[in-house]
Structure formats: structure tokens, C-alpha cells
Amino acid sequence: MNRIRNGDRMVEQHIVRRGIQDKTVARAMRTVPREMFVDPGFEEFAYEDAPLSIGQGQTISQPFIVALMIEKADLDAGDKVLEVGTGSGYAAAVVSRIAGHVYTVERHGALAQQARERFGRLGYSNIDVRIGDGSKGWARAAPFDAIIVSAGAPEVPPSLKEQLDLGGRLIIPVGRDDEQRLKRIIRTGADTFEEEDLGGVFFVPLIGEDAWTAAHPLYTPAAQPERTPAQMISDAAETFSSIDDESFTHLFDRFADSRIVLLGESTHGTAEFYRARAAISRHLIEHHGFNLIAVEADWPDAAAIDRLIAGRNLSQARPFERFPVWMWHNEEFLEFIRWMRTENVRRQASQMDPIRFYGLDLYNMAGSIRMVIDYLERVSPDAAVVARERYGCLSPWQNNPATYGRAILSDAYKSCEDAVSQQCQELLARSLGENDGSDDGFLDATQSARLLAAAERYYRIMYYGGSKAWNLRDTYMAETVEHLLDFHGPDAKMIVWAHNSHIGDARFAEMAAARDELNLGQLCRQRFDGMTSLIGCGTHSGEVLAASDWDGRAEKKRINPALAESYEHLCHQVEKKWFFLDFERNQDLHAGLIDQRLQRFIGVIYRPETERMSHYMLTSLPQQYDAFLWFDETHALTPLTRQQAAGGSPETFPFGL
Ligand code: SAM
């Protein structure tokens, strides 16, 4: 009651009487409890019209100035707003009660952290906080309808002007301390701005690359108190109560504006990674317009799942029958297929386009040959005869393509390269001719022909060893991503599931320095600059489903506790069960973890006995990924048993048909 009276008095005396007319601003300032934004002991002064100290040599701005800046920013309910200089978080909190979403940047980590906690306590979920230099704005979240800068700059930072939307308003104090003026800059065109002077003000300096430098007399270093890397992780860790809970899925709202979200995994056999990726995918599809899922699996097998979730029958042999079968024949994935199917029924009823499911990889030669020939038989039987002949040279190997490269090396067989690539070119040329590209069978056929051409090269060069085969495979996967996005048009948004080693940007790992390898994550970042989000997943110990050798059977194996020099060991030291790290928003964490350490990669094969050699490589985790998801102890996937798969029970559909 007391607080409400104080808030009303503050708004009446210091806001309304001094000329602030915007009722939404007055209402928002009555709503936000200002005493929660000052240091303990200063609550009684919270409602005075004065700046108050908030630590680190910084101040919470006086209420009248906060109101004036927000009024001049002319906010609407759906606006996306950037506030530079979070400080206590008060101004961002007020803005969040008026606008749709607030992004706020603070250079002092401790202040940003405290503000985050305050927003959490108040349940203000439409505010994102980042630690860093706000004179550069927040490029990934731009463009903004309004930008409010709560610290004084020598000149208007160019990045902030660039990040304004057309018609966007920038409110910023500019000039030397003794002659600071509050300016309003409105973007009127691509390169045109209007500027207005709103009067004299006095703010603490904006310290940054495009602002005042360390030479400013009021400069205070942003350095944190000495913290160990594990403490930094602990401070930045965003925890959640369960994968099935909103506290988890909402963490991924920040990727809503990405075109491609790539979700990694540090093993190919962990239940938590599958369940987390399914929950994230569901959320991005239901709430943020994502409509394509592409996985590290072969095109023909994934195409069968795609047909199934579209409510059509499987037209080929059962999908994912080859090693490593458990990667797809498992309860966790089955549950996700069921969800996609139900979701597509719902979408059909609402006349929405269905979710589509695709494979990016190039191992299934036999399935791909079948797809090309099936399609040609339907549209041009003569062309099918030619294709059959061309692919004939691959046929001795099509069910075990790994032997193809060996045969080529022995010179006993001539390479199929010309025939296979000719077939691919002809099918692609068709897209310019008779086909308008909207036919799914056509997409399947061209994609399969591309796969065969790439796979032919892949298996041929695999036997020379080195990085070439890996690079070819990852380049092929990136090209498939690009083709799919082109095929589905500018509104298409994709989620990718693949191993961490394909997703974490290879330029920041030993694989690039030592072996000249690139990968899918790197290529997506390069080709879809600013529109790609790379998210890794990791674990310390538990159990994993993996084989001991290629083509071996799936075994439930214990994962060794992580090595002491690894990122995994650091995450384990934090002693939190599950958490999420955002490197983009925590620049001090980014800087603190940047030096390379070991990172563990468990694929379809796990050899705990030779773990250091077989499974660890040096990486820079915060440079490889934009964010990292941690499950301290994990469980093995639940494979569908042979009886289930063979028995044809409806519960195991489509694998048990
Ligand atoms: N809006 C804040 C509030 O409601 O409490 C008050 C902000 S205070 C007047 C200015 C803030 O700007 C300080 O917390 C300071 O650390 C921060 N700051 C200064 N330079 C910055 C920069 N380049 N990027 C981000 N924050 C900066």
C-alpha cells in the first residue's frame, strides 16, 4: 500500500506536473516498484526525483529523465526497443510495460546480472539482457523501433543509427559532460535522419569503442572481481527445472529471428539430447514460425519420415535400417515423429503448410538411386532407362558404398564419376525446363541425384584419407540446407539436428588448424551471416548408447568423467544439474572461456579405454557456438528392441511395420 502511494506521489509530483503527458508512461511508472531497483537501505529514497548510486560508480537515472526519454521514444505496444546502459534495470523495466520486447546492454557484468535477477523476480519475461559494449548496439536483435541510451556519448554512435528501423527513434545524450544535450534522431530513409534537440542533461559517460574511451575522467574499468572460469559459468548459467517445462523452452525465444537454428549433441546416443532438441524444435515451430527440420541422416530415409508425418504411406523399405540403427530407431525419436504427425494434422485443419523433415547426409546410395529412377519412370520412362544404365556402375557397391573407394584405388574398375555427374546435371537442368520445382517427387529426385554425385566423390576420396572426404560431406550438407531454404522460399526457417562436430564452427577447433577441416556450422555462419544460431550440447558422465566398432551392435556404455583440462570439467564444477549458457549475451564469459581447452566428442563409436586420443580435441567453446546446453549426468537412448521392430506393433510405427 505504502509502495503504491509512493509510486503515485512520484508520478504525480515529478512526472505529470513537470509536463510528461503520455499516460502510458505514467501508468508504467506507477506499476514498476522502483524500490526493487535500488541498493538495500536506499528504498526510502527510491521515489525521490534524484539519481541514486547503484554501485560500480553508476547511477539509477532520476524518474523525470526516465519518463522524458521514454515519452520522446514514442513507444507502441508491439515495439522492439533497445536500451543501452541497463544499470539497475529500472528504465528497461518501465519500457517493458509499454513495448513488446526490450533488449538491454550493460558493460558491467555485475550490474547486468543483478538486473536479470530483478526481472526474473518480477516476472518481466520480455526483457533480454546482454553484457557488453552497447555503443555497438545489438546487431543480432536489430532493427529496433526505438533505442534509448542511458549514458552520454561524445557523438552519436553510427551502429545505433544503422540499427534503427525506418521511422525508428533514437534518444541519446550527446556532448562533453558540462554541455551534454539530449537528442532525438529519427530515421526517415535508408541514409536520412532527422535530429531534434531536447535540452540539456547530465549522464554518466557511455564508455566503449564508439563512445568515450578509458581516458575519460569518469572511466571505471568494467573488469569483474577476479573469478575463476567455473565461477563465470556459474554466474551466467540460466537454469531450468525440466526439459518439458516452459522454463526450458522459453530460453530459446531469443533465437526467434534466426533463419537457421542448428542444435548439436556431444554423443549420438544420449536421451537428454534427443528430448531437448525435440522440445526446442516444437517450441520454435509452434511459436516462432520454423517449418523445416533437417537432420544428420540420409535423404531417402528422412524422406520416408516426411511422407509419414504428412499422413502418406511409406513407399519404400523401412527407413534407417542400416548402422547406426539406434540413432533413429529409439523411443525418443519415435515420440517426436508422433508429435510431428499430430502437428501436421492440426496444421492441415488450419490450412497451414505442413512441417517438413529432411536428411542432409550422403550415405544411402541405394535409396537415392531408387528415388531418381522412380521419379523418371513416372515422368519420362526413356530417361529412366538411361539413368539405370548410368547408375549401373555403382550397383555392385550401392549397399556397401564404403567398398567403392577401395575398388577405385585398385584400378580394377573405372570411376563412375562422369556417368553419375551427367545424370545429376540433367536432372537439375530439368528444373529450368518443364518442371516448376514445386513437385516433391522432383525435389526428391534432384536431391538424390546430387547425393549420388557427391557420394560417388566422397567414397572415392575417402580412401585417400585426409580432410577431403569430411569437407566434401559437410559442404554437401551446407548446400542441401541452402537448396531447401531456396526451394521453400524466403519465409522458410530451418532447425538442424547434427553432432557437435558438424555444428560448432570448425574455424575455432583443432580440426581446422591441424587438418584443414571445415564444417556445416561454419558454412551456415558464412552463408547466412547474422541469421544462423549454433547451439552445442554437452555432458559430464552417465550412460550412452554406442558401438565399439563400425557396424558393431549398440551397447549401453558408461561415460568416463570428463578430463580435468576440458570444458566439460569446468561445467561439472559448477554443480548445477542442467543449465544453458549464452555466449553472445555474456561477453565476459565469452572472453573468460576463449582460450582453447579440450572438448569431448562421442559419435556412434565410443572407446572409453582410449578416450583422450579418440574423443577429445582442442576447441574454443564460446567461439564455436553461440550457446551451450549442459546436462551434467545423462542417460542412454532407449532403443526399440528387435522384437518391437520386427513385431509390427502400432506403437513402434514406422519402424515396426
Ligand atoms: N538505465 C539505468 C537505470 O534505469 O538504472 C541507468 C543507467 S546509468 C545512468 C548508465 C549505465 O550505462 C551504467 O550502468 C553504465 O555502466 C552503463 N554504460 C556505460 N557505457 C556503456 C556501454 N558502452 N555499454 C553498455 N553500458 C554502458
CA of 111, closest atom in ligand 1:
14
Kindly state whether residues 270 and 307 are assigned to the same domain. yes
Within a domain: 52:
yes
Answer for the pair 219, 107: CB distance below 8 angstroms, yes or no.
no
From ligand 1's centre to the CA of 85, what distance in Å?
Answer: 3
Q: How does pLDDT run across 540-567, given as a tens digit for each residue? A: 999 999 998 877 899 999 999 999 999 9
Per-residue pLDDT at 346 exceeds 80: yes
Q: How does pLDDT run across 606-631, given as a tens digit for each residue? A: 999 988 888 999 999 999 999 999 99
Identify the band that residue 1 occupies on the pLDDT scale cut at 50, 70 and 90: very low
Kindly state whether residues 313 and 269 are assigned to the same domain. yes
Kindly state whether residues 523 and 624 are assigned to the same domain. yes
Kindly state whether residues 212 and 243 are assigned to the same domain. no
If one residue of 62, 83, 84, 135 were mutated to test the ligand 1 pocket, choosing by the most ligand atoms within 8 A of its CB, it would be: 84
If one residue of 45, 135, 148, 207 were mutated to test the ligand 1 pocket, choosing by the most ligand atoms within 8 A of its CB, it would be: 207
**Minimum CA distance residue for ligand 1 atom 7:** 87
Of the candidates 191, 226, 261, which is a domain's last residue?
Answer: 226
Answer for the pair 306, 341: CB distance below 8 angstroms, yes or no.
no
Kindly state whether residues 29 and 141 are assigned to the same domain. yes
Q: Give dist(CA 475, CA 522) in Å, integer.
A: 10
Domain count, the chain: 2
Q: Give dist(CA 149, CA 84) in Å, integer.
A: 5
User: Grid coordinates representing 300?
Assistant: 531417402
Kindly state whether residues 16 and 48 are assigned to the same domain. yes
Q: How does pLDDT run across 54-113, given as a tens digit for each residue? A: 887 788 989 999 999 999 999 999 999 999 999 999 999 999 999 999 999 999 988 998
User: Grid coordinates representing 180?
Assistant: 551534454
DSSP string, 138-174: -GGG--EEEEEE-SBBSS--HHHHHTEEEEEEEEEEE
What is the mean predicted confidence (pLDDT) over 572-597?
93
From ligand 1's centre to the CA of 83, what distance in Å?
Answer: 9
* CA atoms lying within 13 Å on the CB side of residue 312: 12
From ligand 1's centre to the CA of 454, what distance in Å?
Answer: 53
Within a domain: 40:
yes
Per-residue pLDDT at 440 exceeds 80: no
User: Grid coordinates representing 371?
Assistant: 528415388
User: Grid coordinates representing 628?
Assistant: 551451450
Highest mean pLDDT: which range of 311-315, 446-450, 607-611: 607-611
Per-residue pLDDT at 650 exceeds 50: no
How much of the chain is in helix, strand and coil states, percent to nearest 5? 45, 20, 35
- For residues 182-205, one letter each, b for 16 or more C-beta atoms within 10 angstroms of the residue's C-beta and e for the rest, the string is bbbbbbeeeeeeeeeeeeebebbb
Of the candidates 226, 250, 283, which is a domain's last residue?
Answer: 226
Q: Residue 271: name the closest of 225, 321, 334, 323 by CA.
A: 334
Within a domain: 305:
yes
**Minimum CA distance residue for ligand 1 atom 12:** 85
Within a domain: 435:
no
What sign does the dihedral 231-237-242-243 (CA atoms) show? negative
Per-residue pLDDT at 411 exceeds 60: no
From ligand 1's centre to the CA of 84, what distance in Å?
Answer: 6
CA of 88, closest atom in ligand 1:
5
Q: Residue 70: name the closest of 99, 48, 43, 45 by CA.
A: 99
Kindly state whether residues 103 and 176 are assigned to the same domain. yes
- At 314 the pLDDT is 64
Within a domain: 573:
yes
Q: The CATH number of the domain where 195 resides is what? A: 3.40.50.150
**Minimum CA distance residue for ligand 1 atom 20:** 206
Kindly state whether residues 238 and 217 are assigned to the same domain. no
Within a domain: 337:
yes
Q: How does pLDDT run across 526-542, given as a tens digit for each residue? A: 999 889 999 999 999 99
What is the mean predicted confidence (pLDDT) over 113-133?
92
Average confidence score pLDDT of the chain:
88
**Minimum CA distance residue for ligand 1 atom 2:** 87
Ligand 1 binding pocket (C-beta < 6 A) is: 58-61, 84-85, 87-88, 90-91, 105-108, 111, 133-135, 150-151, 203-204, 206-208, 211
Q: Which helix (H) or strand (E) holds 292?
A: strand 292-298
Is it true that the peptide bond before 143 is cis, omega within 30 degrees of 0? Answer: yes
Of the candidates 200, 226, 252, which is a domain's last residue?
Answer: 226
| 44-53, 407-416, 585-594, 642-651: least confident range | 642-651
Kindly state whether residues 595 and 618 are assigned to the same domain. yes
Kindly state whether residues 316 and 206 are assigned to the same domain. no
- At 73 the pLDDT is 98
Q: The CATH number of the domain where 616 resides is what? A: 3.40.1660.10
590 or 374: whose pLDDT is higher? 590
Whether 350 is a known active-site residue: answer: no
Kindly state whether residues 471 and 333 are assigned to the same domain. yes
From ligand 1's centre to the CA of 587, what distance in Å?
Answer: 16
Query: With pLDDT > 90 as the criterion, what percentage of the chain qualifies?
Result: 59
Q: Give dist(CA 415, CA 533) in Å, integer.
A: 39
Within a domain: 314:
yes
Kindly state whether residues 161 and 235 are assigned to the same domain. no
Within a domain: 544:
yes
Q: Which residue segment(s) compose the domain that 113 sits in?
A: 2-226
